[in-house]
Amino acid sequence: MARRPGLVAAIGINLAAILGGGIFLLPGRLADLGTAGALAAVILAGTVALAVGSNLSVLAARIPGGGGLYLQTRTLLGPGPGLLTGWVWNTANLIGGAALAIGGAATFATVFPGLPIGPSAAVFTLLVTAFCLQGILRGSRLVLALLGLLGIVLLGLVAAPLLVPPGPASPLLRGTPADVVAVAALLFFAFGGVVRATACAGEFEAPRRTVPRAVILSVLVSIGAYATIGVATSVLAGGRILGAAPAPLDTVAQWTGIPWLPPAVLIGTMAAATLGVLTAILALSRVMAAMADHGDLPFVLAGKEGEPPVSAVILAGTAMALLALTGDMTALLDAGALCRLLYCATAGGAALRVTTTPVRKSIAVFGTSCCLVLIGVLITWNPLAPAYVVAVAVIGWLGSRLRHRCGAPAHGLQPVDE
């Protein structure tokens, strides 16, 4: 595959994954914590994401090939952990992309009442899939354009509290510390997107330098964005509960009475949904192609040199569209956050195999430990979450059996050691 996009494109893909992965879906959960609670949840999630980002930087510098964390785990920990990581990654991206498509369709349904959310989300996903067939270079250009549009809408939301008459004061802190930690865990539905550029590393210029820088910079920008939007949403809500509303920012925009804000939120939501679904399909298809290259998926999914993996893109988009038909975003958010925490924890374990300095080892242990704690909190918050873990394990086992039945030779995509 040609390595043409550079640092700006890599940062854009990660930002698209993190911001598109929840900036219009998760502020309702943040606002319900109060202003201080929202800040605390974002800082906690962001700190863990920085540790995970540091681990990913180490891995990307060591093994920069396409396939990201799947290839790195397979190389450092063995084929078994690599296969399971690949399936956790695939599940997370399928769930995440479907949830974002549903969120975009739910917001669109506020303008067109009666619009079926599930089918609309599926059609939207298939349209994005068709664009993904054009390759990562065109995909990265669209990502940067949509990020610019999203930035303008977010600035409007941040300015909204200054444009409306003072209303009921938002509480400083609502809920318990456990609620703050639980929302921080849910935020990994978004922050788990920090790993997305690594999946396409083989298509970037100088991936050993480009990807590590993109990972850290995208996390820092995202922490500021989520903290700002979370506080602004809390102020605009004025103590009212948003809960798990499918379109929390649209609800808040309606409350403000500002005529131009609801249409702006609609545009921003669709831009964010497009960013999230687009980068999910791009990354998912690249990991599928890498797994096919190593015999962990049917070889038909492998891509040709210099061309997008067409079969993998079509399969990824079709599976995501079918999942979007359910129209159940809340369950998908919890499942997606859990899967992202699982593969972020794996990144720390793989990084420990190649780190040599005490500081790097401490960061790897810290990141992995925090991910495991947040997994426990999320499971407590949603008792059905363990079922998702079992489902992923079963799918991984079935994928392994399919690999042996296909008998595809493992080749291509070899890591480049320093």
pLDDT digits (tens, 9 = 90+) for 171-182: 777 878 888 988
CA pair distance 39, 408, nearest whole angstrom: 49
pLDDT digits (tens, 9 = 90+) for 247-271: 788 888 888 888 898 888 888 888 8
DSSP alpha helix (H) spans, 238-260 = 248-256
Q: How many CB atoms lie within 10 A of CB 219?
A: 26
* % pLDDT > 90, the chain: 11
| Structure-block tokens of residue 370 | 């925090």
Q: How many CB atoms lie within 10 A of CB 169?
A: 10
- Between 368 and 327, where is the model more confident? 368
pLDDT digits (tens, 9 = 90+) for 289-313: 888 888 888 888 887 766 778 899 9
- Are the C-beta atoms of residues 324 and 301 closer than 8 Å to each other? no
List domains and CATH numbers for the chain.
Answer: 7-406 (1.20.1740.10)
Please give the model's pTM, rounded to 2 decimal places: 0.81
Q: How many CB atoms lie within 10 A of CB 105?
A: 28
Average pLDDT, the chain: 81
DSSP alpha helix (H) spans, 112-135 = 117-132
